[in-house]
Structure 1
Amino acid sequence: MSAPGSEPNATERAEARAIRKRWVTLAEIVAVAGLLISATTAWLSWSDRRSEEHEKQIEKITEARTRTLVRLTATPEHGGASLALKDAEHDVQSVDIRFPKALGVPAQNSILSPHVDADWIAKPLLEATRDGPDKREGRLPILVAASYWDGDQKRTDTAIYDLVWETEGGLIWGHKLKLKGLMLRERTASAPRLDGLWKVEKPR
């Protein structure tokens, strides 16, 4: 060590420079660490906001899609001779109804007051159940395309519904077919799927 008042020697100057470098290096590390922490915090905050915005967008799209869907309900009329169809959320103006191909029933269209008539399907269903008990109940899958207006845009929602039916025996007129109700089964426009469901549901 140099005497008091004397100039520091080379060794002391080197040690002083090394100490200053260590302090500078430590300060730089602390500064960089602070920047990394700040950057990470900012990124996490931005990522959270973006995730929330994305979730809100998905919710809005889902809600908008849900509002366009039709869910038909049915009310028996004339003792089950027909079903009046309606949707609580939309003013359905027409329905196009397709039946399983094996049933041999042509497609039907109902407008203004959408409905299903038992006469459309009575013959093939009564033939299919004539060897069974007089009173019988079953389901007939049907493909329904329901159309309505949303402002100035026409929308059509297609789904498979189960048409619930029952037969009753009579002494004079024989078996009679009555319609009981309608239940949503699947949201699809697939005719092959309709035919596949009928293979399972058809009377045996």
Structure 2
Amino acid sequence: MSVDPPRVPQIPVDPLVPPPPSNAAAAPETVAQAVDRAEAAATRRRWVTLAELVGVAGVVIAAFGLWLTWSDRRADDQAKRAEQASERKVRTLVMLKASVDGDDLTLTDPAHDVQTIDIRFPKALGVAAQTDADPKIAAGWVSAPMLKLTDGGPDTQSGRLPVLITASYWDADVERHDAAIYDVSWKTDGRFMQGRAFRLEGLKLKERTASVARLEAIWTRQKPKAAK
């Protein structure tokens, strides 16, 4: 004898009553979570990017600091080399001093043992250049043309005669030369029944140049004016 299963009562469906909510109600919550996750990921990416930027900035700053240090050291090295070169140049320069020996001048330089000099005079004087001469200037070299140039004026006159002097000396085993224009101080005096006397009185550095043209230009300005 078979037994039929119990019947589940059927609830009538009212078409005017909405069906019960399904799982779609959870969809808005899932979207919100996805948005949160996206924002969290974006935030993490921003932090990573910021950290990378900070790291790059640190590398750039460190590199710039190294460059500044290198640049400063290079500038200091260049300044030191320039100073050393200037000091070496100064040590090679000759500064001739003169002591009066009668009517002549004996030339010396306390810093260098000057062996010989070459000396050029203004061309208008007609005085031959003295080469490989002892370091002195003899009044007899220029007395005749200078007395002729100042003839007709007062017996007592004074002035400056520019000369181009190249001094030669030894620096250890190296022979060096230094050229410059000097002013030679001169003076004339009258002598009773013996005409006029000419003598040299001193020496002073005029210009550090070896230009003959400059020598002539200086002489044009400094030469004695012709007597009327």
Q: Same fold (TM over 0.5)?
A: yes
**Aligned Cα root-mean-square deviation (Å):** 1.7
In structure 2, stretches of 5+ residues that fail to align are 1-25
TM-superposed CA distance for 1:9, in Å, is 3.5
CA–CA separation in structure 2 for the residues paired with 1:135 and 1:21 = 100
Superposition misfits of 4+ residues, deviation over 3 angstroms: none
Tell me what 1:101 maps to.
123
Q: Confirm whether residue 170 of structure 1 aligns to residue 194 of structure 2.
A: no
Amino acid at match of 1:143: L
Tell me what 2:164 maps to.
143
CA–CA separation in structure 2 for the residues paired with 1:138 and 1:88 = 27
CA–CA separation in structure 1 for the residues paired with 2:65 and 2:175 = 48
CA–CA separation in structure 2 for the residues paired with 1:151 and 1:63 = 17
In structure 1, stretches of 5+ residues that fail to align are none
Q: How do 1:123-162 residues align onto structure 2 when only pairs under 5 Å count?
A: 123-162=144-183
Secondary structure class of the residue paired with 1:65:
helix
Tell me what 2:87 maps to.
63
TM-superposed CA distance for 1:110, in Å, is 5.4
CA contact (8 A) 1:130 1:175 kept: no
Tell me what 1:12 maps to.
36
Q: Confirm whether residue 36 of structure 1 aligns to residue 57 of structure 2.
A: no
CA–CA separation in structure 2 for the residues paired with 1:59 and 1:154 = 23
Q: Give TM-score scaled by structure 1 length.
A: 0.92
TM-superposed CA distance for 1:38, in Å, is 1.3
Secondary structure class of the residue paired with 1:175:
strand
Q: Which has the larger radius of gyration?
A: 2
CA–CA separation in structure 2 for the residues paired with 1:123 and 1:25 = 94
TM-superposed CA distance for 1:95, in Å, is 0.6
Tell me which of the two structures has the higher relative contact order, counting C-alpha pairs closer than 8 angstroms and 6 or more residues apart. Answer: 1
TM-superposed CA distance for 1:12, in Å, is 2.1
Work out the number of aligned pairs and report it: 197
Q: Of the candidates 201, 217, 223, which is equivalent to residue 180 of structure 1?
A: 201
